[in-house]
Amino acid sequence: MNLGTKTNQKFVQIPTAKLKERISQLCEQYGIRFIETEESYTSRASFLDLDELPTFGEKPEGWKESGRRVKRGLYRSKDGFKINADCNGAANILRKVAAKLSLNLDGVSRGALIAPLKVRLWTI
């Protein structure tokens, strides 16, 4: 990829395996449970329509998402509701791990996905 000489010099790869290991160590140190999960098809599937979330390599024949990403940052569900695309993906990742973590996702609704709020965890 040619990003120009200046940008190519500044562009570096992030060592994700090392980063995950460090996050895991910090979670263990502070008593936080660290669960790594795969996130395939979470951006394509619609959280509002409760699309099936297959794992990577196990996608059923003929699987099709009900909604689609309209443009950067915007996802349209089957019923035409427009929600934040990142929130849709994050909510689908939550759906994948909800059983492991005993999470109740009843509070995650269309309203929370349309206008996400910034929550500062360190002030709660």
- Residue 3 has what pLDDT? 62
Q: pLDDT for 33-44, tens place per residue?
A: 888 888 888 888
- Residue 4 has what pLDDT? 66
Q: pLDDT for 16-25, tens place per residue?
A: 899 999 999 9
* Sign, CA torsion 106/58/36/89: negative
Find the mean pLDDT for residues 95-107. Answer: 81
Q: pLDDT for 44-99, tens place per residue?
A: 888 888 888 888 888 788 888 888 888 888 999 898 888 888 888 888 888 888 87
